[in-house]
Each structure stands twice: as C-alpha cells, then as structure tokens.
Chain A
Amino acid sequence: MRKLETIMGIPISIDIPKGNNKIFVDSFAIFSEIDNRFSTYKKDSEVSHFNKGTISLKDCSDSFKAIYAKCLQLKKDTNGYFDAFYNKKYDPSGYVKGYAIDQVANFLKQKGCDEFLINAGGDIAASSHSSKKWKIGISDPNNTKKILAHLEVDAIAIATSGTYERGDHIIDPLTKKKPDFFKSVTIFGPSILIADVYATVIFAMGKKGLELLQQLPGYSCIYVDKNNELKQLLSSK
C-alpha cells in the first residue's frame, strides 16, 4: 500500500506493502511534527523562535539541540559547504528532510515493519528483508520523465541534488556563485542523513567535491556533469 501527502512543501510518498492505516497516519505525523518544530516558514516553530531570540538554545528541545550540534559539526566536516548558519540565520532545512526520513524509517523498524520505501521529494530510504527488491530510478536532469539509472536494492538511502527542479536554490557558500559543474549528483549508501547532506555538498563544491567520497566508505555517486556526461563512482564496500 502506498500513501501520499504534502508536508514541508514537498510531496512525500510512503510505500508499506503490509501496512495498515494506522502506521501510515503515524508515519506522516512524524513528518508533520518535525516540520512544526524546524520549519523556517512557520512563525511558531522552534527554529523561528530561536531566530527571533524568544527562546535560547539551552531552553530548546533535545531534538533541536541535537540537530543544532549536528549542523555545527557538518559545517566543520564540509569546510563550510554545508552551512545552516548562512546569512546569520539558523536554517537547518538542509538536514531536516533527511532527518525526518530517518526518523520515520527508525519508527517503522521499531514497529517491526522492515519493508518500506519512503520518498520525500526525491530523497529515498528503502528497506526490505525479504526477497523483495525495490527498484529505484534516478531522474534524468534533462528530462524528469525519464530515468538515467535504476538500482535494485533491499535496503538503501539515496538522495539527488540538482538545480533542475527548484531552480537556483543551491549556491557555493564560499564563492557565492551558482555551482555549475554538475547537472545532478546522486549519492547512495546506508544512511539518508549522509546521502542527503553530501549530495548537496558535492553538488555545491563541483568536481572537487567528489574527493569527499573518500571520507564516506560505503557511499557511491552517480552524476551528470554540465557536458551531459554520466559517470559513476561506486564504493566497493
């Protein structure tokens, strides 16, 4: 069974072959809860209050503090390419989508459900412990009705970054320019938290960003560059 809702401004589809209605309701509720806490668009979110100064970090929720710490760490790990503090405003959106997918995946596993596919705006976490394999396509940046590649997987996290869907929402924080080396970058491996952040970071860094994969054992990359060449860097792990 598959259900679709729009939360965080993105279409989210959850496929649980053996799912009942309650597990879908609870899963989408996790997305909504995270959105209510971390949205920069919602005036009453914890992030909005933090940015207005109406709440200090020490009074924030545990999950807020955990994500705040993670964002600081990621800024360091990526030499400033992942920057939730850009423009002197705290905006963890680049981490929160992956975090939300990860939270729902963990929730489903806790409930004993190990066969699911969550797709939040093109970022996917899939799990299967039976003979079922999920077939996941990677969108063609030149034609989103087509796919470039597909992966047959039992369990995987996969995220794609590109400017072709949302326009110019990625900039190189160091040069302040639009990155132009890639048309799209797809990262896949065990965790959506890593895949999501690093797809964007590598996209923003350009060609040099591919070297970051060395620090991410178990993660692979498929990309299309500005000359429309399709390339893959596959992890052997």
Chain B
Amino acid sequence: MNGRYAFRIKLSAFLCDNKQVKKYFITFAAIAILGMIVIYYGPTAFKSNNVPNSGGGPLAGNNVAQSPSAPSSPTTPAPTSVPTTYKDGAYKGSDFQNPYGDVQISIVISNGKITTVNLLSMPNAAERSQYLSGQAGPMLQSQTISAQSAQIDGVSGATYTSQSYQQSLQSALDQAKTA
C-alpha cells in the first residue's frame, strides 16, 4: 500500500468532533508535514512534488499528501528514513546520468484491468504514483522483487530507426527469439 493512503487513514483516525481541536490538529499536522518534506528534500521539494497537474486541472485532486512514501514500511507516513532496499545515493540532484537508479515498475494487467503494480527497487524520491481515480489506491502494491527476473517479450520505445534498432534491447530479443 502506498504511504500516502496510509497517511490519510492515520490522520482521519485522530480527527474528532470538536472543531477547535480539529482545527489546531490540522494546522499542526500541516506544519509538521511541510517541515519534514523540507528537511527531507531540501530545496528541490516543491519542484519534485509539483506534478503533474499543478495548474489546477482536472487531476488536481490527486495531488495531495505526496509524502515520499516508503514501500517497505507502509504504515509509517513520516519520511524520516530511507528503506535499506533502496540504493543509497541513487537519486542525486546533480546526477542526471541515471538519477532514478534501478527504477523498475511492474504492472500486471488481467482482462484489460490493472490488477497489480509492483515497484521494483525504486529510489524513494522517484516514486510518484498518481491514480486518475483515488479509488484505485488499494491496487498499488509495493514489493521489491528482482527486476532481473523479467523475461521480456517486447520493448515499447520511441520509434526505432534501423540503425538505432540494431543497438536496442528489442533487437537482442528478436535475435534470440527468431533464431
């Protein structure tokens, strides 16, 4: 389960009927969360959270509570520790070579419906899952499994030229399978 959903549940459990208490609590929680995000992300916090619909478009409702979630500890909303399954330093602002490290997402679709989303060794800061409908939350499963276990049948990518195709993973797959 994604951390942001867990977070919502926890918050709602604390809410009570007393409006004054509720107001103070929400204010306190908002400041605390903001503080944690700033501490955790530093100056890049708002840039990286500002996706993909900050313009207040139809997707805006899903933009809330995108705290950096920790797939291996789903009940912990506070982004205070990086799970050991992530590669340390895999996400650095200045390293644009491959800053998302060994990010892999595995999505299982049955009968045309997404049934499972597995995040495979995804660096914390790169995890930005947004559903078009908030109802889809429980479908997100966070598991760290070996990305290398995938026996890929085909690769979707930007249109290959014959030249770039020769260098591609798809080419290697085709060679192996047409042989």
Assuming the A-B contacts A2-B174, A139-B156, A234-B114, are A166 and B161 also in contact, with contact meaning beta carbons closer than 8 angstroms in the complex? yes
Interface secondary structure of A, over-half rule? strand
Which 5 pairs between the two chains have the least Cβ-Cβ distance? A139-B157, A162-B158, A236-B136, A149-B105, A122-B157
B82 interfacial contact with A, CB 8 Å: no
Assuming the A-B contacts A11-B162, A154-B111, A218-B112, are A117 and B154 also in contact, with contact meaning beta carbons closer than 8 angstroms in the complex? yes
The answer for the CA separation of A124 and B174 in the assembled complex, in Å, is: 14
Which residues on A sit within 8 Å (CB–CB) of B111? 154-155
A-B contact pairs, 16 of them (CB 8 A): A11-B170, A122-B158, A139-B168, A139-B170, A144-B157, A147-B152, A150-B104, A151-B109, A166-B161, A190-B112, A210-B59, A213-B132, A214-B58, A230-B105, A232-B117, A233-B132
A156 interfacial contact with B, CB 8 Å: yes
Assuming the A-B contacts A229-B51, A236-B131, are A165 and B154 also in contact, with contact meaning beta carbons closer than 8 angstroms in the complex? no
Pick from A34-42, A73-81, A103-111, A129-137 the stretch touching chain B.
A129-137
A177 interfacial contact with B, CB 8 Å: no
A48 interfacial contact with B, CB 8 Å: no
A13 touches B154 (CB 8 A): yes
Assuming the A-B contacts A2-B174, A138-B156, A150-B104, are A231 and B167 also in contact, with contact meaning beta carbons closer than 8 angstroms in the complex? no
B103 interfacial contact with A, CB 8 Å: yes
| Cβ distance B45 to chain A, nearest Cβ, rounded Å | 13
The answer for the CA separation of A138 and B158 in the assembled complex, in Å, is: 10
Of the residues B129, B157, B162, B178, contact of A234 by C-beta under 8 Å = B129
Which residues on B sit within 8 Å (CB–CB) of A227? 47-48, 96
B110 interfacial contact with A, CB 8 Å: yes
| Cβ distance A96 to chain B, nearest Cβ, rounded Å | 12
A145 touches B128 (CB 8 A): no
Residues of A within 8 A of B (CB): 2-4, 6, 9-11, 13, 15, 97, 117, 119, 121-124, 126, 133-156, 158-166, 169, 184, 186, 188, 190, 207-208, 210-211, 213-214, 218, 220, 222, 224-225, 227-237
B177 interfacial contact with A, CB 8 Å: yes
A232 touches B104 (CB 8 A): no
| Cβ distance B125 to chain A, nearest Cβ, rounded Å | 8
B174 touches A11 (CB 8 A): yes
| Cβ distance B151 to chain A, nearest Cβ, rounded Å | 6
The answer for the CA separation of A145 and B160 in the assembled complex, in Å, is: 13
Which residues on A sit within 8 Å (CB–CB) of B55? 207-208
A160 touches B158 (CB 8 A): yes
The answer for the CA separation of A232 and B103 in the assembled complex, in Å, is: 12
| Cβ distance B131 to chain A, nearest Cβ, rounded Å | 5
A210 touches B152 (CB 8 A): no
A234 touches B100 (CB 8 A): no
0/1 interface trace, chain B 24-63, chain A, CB 8 Å (1 if under): 0000000000000000000000011001110101110000
B98 interfacial contact with A, CB 8 Å: yes
The answer for the CA separation of A121 and B10 in the assembled complex, in Å, is: 47
| Cβ distance B65 to chain A, nearest Cβ, rounded Å | 16
B156 touches A160 (CB 8 A): yes
Which residues on A sit within 8 Å (CB–CB) of B162? 6, 9-11
Which residues on B sit within 8 Å (CB–CB) of A211? 53, 57-59
The answer for the CA separation of A229 and B52 in the assembled complex, in Å, is: 11
Which residues on A sit within 8 Å (CB–CB) of B152? 135-137, 147, 150
Which residues on A sit within 8 Å (CB–CB) of B108? 133, 151-153
B135 interfacial contact with A, CB 8 Å: yes
Task: Name the residue of chain A whose CB is nearest to the CB of B105.
Answer: A149
B15 interfacial contact with A, CB 8 Å: no
Assuming the A-B contacts A13-B174, A234-B114, are A228 and B157 also in contact, with contact meaning beta carbons closer than 8 angstroms in the complex? no
B146 interfacial contact with A, CB 8 Å: no
Which residues on B sit within 8 Å (CB–CB) of A159? 156
The answer for the CA separation of A166 and B59 in the assembled complex, in Å, is: 31
| Cβ distance B171 to chain A, nearest Cβ, rounded Å | 7
